[in-house]
């Protein structure tokens, strides 16, 4: 009998533990939708697209914002109210959304493509494609995120932030090293190409 009531108590606890974060998730994600869109496709091109991004990368970024390893005025205040369970739920939600979006046909950017596959860093013998893949879909080994189909304006901003070390949450300085020798116009050409990758 003791065992039975213990089991019932355990069931109740588990049930509540599941129900609580889900309710929190609904009210807390409503905030995110305003800037990132309800399916993670943002209208404002400085608000990154989250749809279809790797769950592990989203968790890392939200945790980095929370611990101030990554700092940005909008996001640093946004993550304050989120706990680890919220972060997990939110990351699962956005990573499960489709990244496909309508876009007008664009001229192909041959210079951007060439730069994307070019060995940029002589020290490391790496190109962007070495870690982010030939289609911009990222790589689990190096923890490189999906960058294909991201807004060009956000890409330009974040690449410049890596270059100036304003953003410094990249493992092993990978992105700070890769952007070190890029000029503004190379960053713009690269961003334009990456935003059109599918
Ligand atoms: C007021 C607008 C705004 C709101 C609200 C907002 N964000 Fe953001 N978010 C941004 C901006 C701007 C950036 C880009 C930060 C930068 O430039 O470094 C960003 C970046 C991010 C990133 C990093 C994406 C990447 O590709 O590295 C994640 C993840 C994210 N937001 C999730 C959320 C979640 C989850 C919420 C809700 C709790 C939220 N955001 C609410 C504006 C907002
Ligand atoms: C050695 C592997 C490596 C190489 C080479 C590399 N990256 Fe990255 N990149 C990463 C990792 C890892 C991250 C995630 C950093 C973090 O956790 O915040 C990242 C992040 C990014 C981001 C931020 C994505 C976002 O949503 O905020 C962009 C954009 C990017 N890389 C573009 C590039 C470009 C362009 C090149 C070539 C100039 C390049 N990367 C080369 C590993 C690499």
Q: 55-95 pLDDT, tens per residue?
A: 999 999 999 999 999 999 999 999 998 999 999 999 999 99
Query: pTM for the full model?
Result: 0.89
Q: 96-126 pLDDT, tens per residue?
A: 999 876 554 555 789 999 999 999 877 889 9
What secondary structure letter does DSSP report for 148?
Answer: T
Determine the distance separating the centroid of ligand 1 and the alpha carbon of 195, expressed in angstroms. Answer: 18
Q: Is 114 exposed, middle or buried (0-12, 13-18, 19+ CB in 10 A)?
A: exposed
Of the three residues 33, 60, 95, the one that is the final residue of a domain is 95
- Out of 36, 94, 138, mutate this one to test ligand 1's pocket (max ligand atoms within 8 Å of CB): namely 36
Is the domain of 14 the same as that of 56?
yes
- How many CA atoms does the CB half-sphere of 138 hold within 13 Å? 15
Number of domains making up the chain: 2
- Out of 31, 74, 138, 150, mutate this one to test ligand 1's pocket (max ligand atoms within 8 Å of CB): namely 74
* 65 within some domain: yes
Is the per-residue pLDDT at 17 higher than 50?
no
Protein residue with least CA distance to atom 38, ligand 1: 32
Q: 173-187 pLDDT, tens per residue?
A: 999 999 998 999 999
Which CATH number goes with the domain that contains 167? 1.10.760.10
pLDDT number for residue 122: 79
The token pair at 101 is 């979006």
Domain span at residue 24 reads 2-95
């Amino acid at each position: 009998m003791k065992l039975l009531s213990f089991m019932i108590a355990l069931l109740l606890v588990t049930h509540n533990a599941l129900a609580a974060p889900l309710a929190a998730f609904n009210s807390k994600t409503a905030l995110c939708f305003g800037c990132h869109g309800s399916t993670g496709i943002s209208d404002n091109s400085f608000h990154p697209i989250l749809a279809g991004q790797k769950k592990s990368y989203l968790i890392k970024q939200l945790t980095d914002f929370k611990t101030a390893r990554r700092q940005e005025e909008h996001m640093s205040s946004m993550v304050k109210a989120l706990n680890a369970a919220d972060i997990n739920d939110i990351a699962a939600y956005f990573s499960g959304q489709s990244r496909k979006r309508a876009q007008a046909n664009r001229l192909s950017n041959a210079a951007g493509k060439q730069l994307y596959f070019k060995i940029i860093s002589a020290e490391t013998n790496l190109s962007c494609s070495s870690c982010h893949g030939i289609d911009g879909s990222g790589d689990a080994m190096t923890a490189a995120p999906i960058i294909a189909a991201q807004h060009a304006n956000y890409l330009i901003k974040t690449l410049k932030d890596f270059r100036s070390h304003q953003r410094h949450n990249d493992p092993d300085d990978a992105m700070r090293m890769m952007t070190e020798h890029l000029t503004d116009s190379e960053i713009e050409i690269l961003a334009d190409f990456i935003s059109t990758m599918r």
